[in-house]
Amino acid sequence: MAHYAFIDENNIVTEVITGIDETELIEGLSPEVWYGNFRGQTCKRTSYNTMNNIHSNGGTPFRGNYAGIGAAFDSSWGTDGGFIPIKRYASWVFDETICSWKAPVPYPTDDKVYHWDESTQGWTLAP
C-alpha cells in the first residue's frame, strides 16, 4: 500500500489517497501515471513515514515530507521533487536540508513547551 497526492495546476496538493503499492502496475502504467490520468491531475507518490526529510523508520526519506492538503510540490527539490508544507508564519525561512520552514530563532532546549509568537519574533512559554 502506498499514498499518492494529487496536485493542481499551481503545484498545490488538493487530495491525498491510499493506493496500490508503487511497484505494481495498473493497465501497464505506474500508479502515479494511472491515477493522474484517471483524475486529470498530476499525481505523485508520497511517504507517510517522511517528515522534515527524515524517515521515521530509519529508511530513506522520500520527497521531503508526507504531502498534506495545501502543501506545495516543488519538482526542483531533491532527486524526485519535494512536498513543502504550508508556511505558518511570515518570518519563518525555508530550510533546504529539511524541506521545511524553520523559525528564525531556534526552539528552546529546556524541555518546556513553547509556541511561536510572530509579533515578538520569538518563542513564548505555553500556559
Domain residues for the domain of 122 are 92-127
Report the C-alpha gap between 115 and 120 in whole angstroms: 11
Q: What is the mean pLDDT of residues 28-43?
A: 97
CA dihedral 28, 61, 85, 9 (to 10 degrees): -20
Same domain? For 36 and 14 the reply is: yes
Position 52 confidence tier, pLDDT thresholds 50, 70, 90: very high
Do 121 and 79 fall within a single domain? Answer: no
HEC string of 10-33?
CCEEEEEEEECCCCCCECCECHHH
Cα–Cα distance for residue pair 74/32, rounded to 1 Å: 16
pTM score? 0.90
| Confidence grade of residue 73 (pLDDT, cut at 50, 70, 90) | very high
